[in-house]
A and B are shown apart, each in its own frame.
Chain A
Amino acid sequence: MAHFELVAPRTAEEAVAELRAASGTSVGVLAGGSDLLIDIDEGRVAPTRIVSLRRLPWRTLDWTGGALTIGSTLPLRTLEDDPDVRRRLPGLWQAIRAVGSVALRHRATLGGNLGRAAPSSDLIPILLALDAEVELIGAEGTRRLPVDRFVLASRRTALRPAELIRSIRIPEARPSAFLWQRVRPANDISQIAVAVARSPGARAWSVAVGGIPPRSVLLPRVAEALGHGSPTPAALDRAADLASREVAIVADRRASGEYRRHLIGTLLRRAVASAEAARS
C-alpha cells in the first residue's frame, strides 16, 4: 500500500482545486521531486496526497522585451542550456550550475527550489540580486511578489495554502555573478555564496548572500558602498569589509563563523570582478 496518493492535474485550475480539496490533510506539491522525495524519506514531511505538476504546460522559457520569464516547472538543465541565459544573465547561469549535478538538474526546477526556500538555496541569492519576482496562481487568480517578499525564512514562503508558483520573472539582462565556497563542487551545500548584479541603466549594484540561516539576504549597504559603475579599489575594500560584518554569521558543521566572514569578503571581490568581466 502506497504511502500517498498521486494526482496529476492537466490545468492550473484543476491543480488549485486539488490543493483546496486537500486542505486540512497533508498535501505535497511535486515538481522535479529532488527535494520533496528526500524530505519524505527523512521524515520532514509525510504527505498523504501529492499533486504532481508534470502535466501542466509550465516548462516554458520566454525572453520578451529584455525580460526573462521562466515557467516554474522548467528543468534547470534546460534553463542552463539556453545560450541567452549564459550570455545575458551570467550570474543566473553560474547559480544553476551550482545546483546538484547534471542528472539532478534534468529534473529539479526553479519553482521547486523557491517553494522549498532552503537557507542553502544557491538560486535564491541570484534571484534577489536580479530583482526577480514570482507569479503565483491560486483560487483568486494570480498575484506577483518580489522574491525578497516571497521568501520569509527557512522553508517558509508567502505562498498561501492553495497557491502555486506559476513562473519567475527577471526584469532585465544584467552583468552578474554567483560564486560559492564548499567542500565538493557538485552535490554539496555552499558554506557561503555571494551573488552580485549591476543594473545596466542606473549602473547600481545589488549584492546578496546565501548559505546562512534563516534565509538569503540582500545587502543594500554593501551594494551602496560599491558605488556606481566599476568600483574603485577603495570602494571594493569598504564593501568587502562591510559585507563580512553586515550578516549575522553562524558557525555550524560546515564552516566556522570566522571562515564564513572571511569568505564573504573574498567572494564579493571575485564576484564583482567576474560581473565586470562579463560586461566587457
Chain B
Amino acid sequence: MTGPAGVLRVNAASIDLATVPADERLLDTVRWRLGLKGTKEGCRTGDCGACSVLVDDRTVLSCLTLTHELEGARVTTIEGAPMDPELERARAAFQRAGALQCGYCTPGFVVALAGLLKERGTAATPEELLDGLQGNLCRCTGYAAIARAVAGLSEAPP
C-alpha cells in the first residue's frame, strides 16, 4: 500500500473512497461503480474464483474484500491486460489454446494465472501453476483446454 490515503487505483482510474459506502465489496465497485464487467460474480462466497482481481500484483477474491480495506492499493482487473505483461501473457495462452467454453470463468482464470506468474516468476512449473489454479472453477468443465493453456505458456515469447 503505497498510494495516497483515501484513494484506490483500479487500472488507470482513481476512486475517492469517500464516495464509497463502508460495506461495498470490491467486486461491486469494479462492476457497478466502474462498469468493468470483465470481473464476474460467480458464487459470492469465495468458492469459485470468477471474481479474481490483482491487488498490488497478488490475486484476491473481490467478492470477499471490502473496497475500503484496499486504501492506497493498486487493483488490476482483466481489462488491464493490455498494460500488464503477465496478464497479457496468460490471456494470450488461453486464446492460443482456445481454453474456454461459455467463458464466464475465463477472466478469473487468466487473472489467477497472471498472479501466479507474478509471484513465482519464470521458475514456476506447469504443475505448480495448475496447483495454484485449484481455487478457480469452470462449470463447463473445460479443464483439459485450460491445462493446455498453462502448458503452452512458454510457446510464445513472454
Interface of A with B (CB < 8 Å)? 1-6, 8, 30, 33-34, 37-38, 41, 50, 52, 54, 77, 100-104, 106-107, 184-187
Contacts and interface: CB of A to CB of B under 8 A. Distances in A.
B49 A103 contact: yes
Range, interface on chain B: 20 to 34
A38 B25 CA distance: 12
Given A77-B58, A102-B112, A3 B64 contact: no
Given A101-B134, A103-B49, 6 more contacts: A30-B69, A34-B64, A37-B25, A54-B69, A102-B112, A103-B112
A8 B66 CA distance: 12
Contact of A186 (B21, B59, B66, B134): B134
Contacts of B49: 101, 103
Given A33-B64, A41-B45, A103-B59, A52 B21 contact: no
Given A104-B46, A187-B135, A52 B58 contact: no
10 contacts: A2-B24, A33-B65, A33-B66, A37-B66, A52-B69, A100-B135, A101-B49, A102-B115, A103-B112, A187-B135
Given A34-B64, A52-B69, A102-B132, A187 B47 contact: yes
Interface string B42-60: 0011111100100100111
A37 B69 contact: no
B155 interface: no
A5 B65 CA distance: 15
Nearest to A52: B69
Contacts of B132: 102
B61 interface: yes
Contacts of A102: 59, 112, 115-116, 132, 135
B68 interface: yes
B34 interface: no
A102 B24 CA distance: 23
A104 B23 contact: no
B121 to A, nearest CB: 13
A103 B45 contact: no
Interface of B: 21-25, 44-49, 52, 55, 58-61, 64-66, 68-69, 71, 112, 115-116, 132, 134-136
Contacts of A5: 22
B21, B25, B59, B136 pick with most chain A CB within 10 angstroms: B59
Contacts of A106: 55, 58-60
Contacts of B23: 2-4, 6
Contact of B65 (A38, A107, A184, A186): A107
A1 B21 contact: yes
Contacts of A103: 49, 52, 59-61, 112, 115, 135
Nearest to A37: B64
A30 B64 CA distance: 11
4 closest residue pairs by CB, A with B: A101-B135, A186-B134, A6-B22, A2-B21
B93 to A, nearest CB: 18
B22 to A, nearest CB: 4
A234 B75 CA distance: 56
B18 to A, nearest CB: 13
A37 B52 CA distance: 16
B46 A30 contact: no
B111 to A, nearest CB: 9
Which of A1, A33, A52 has the most C-beta atoms of chain B within 10 angstroms of its own C-beta? A33
B28 to A, nearest CB: 12
A145 B64 CA distance: 30
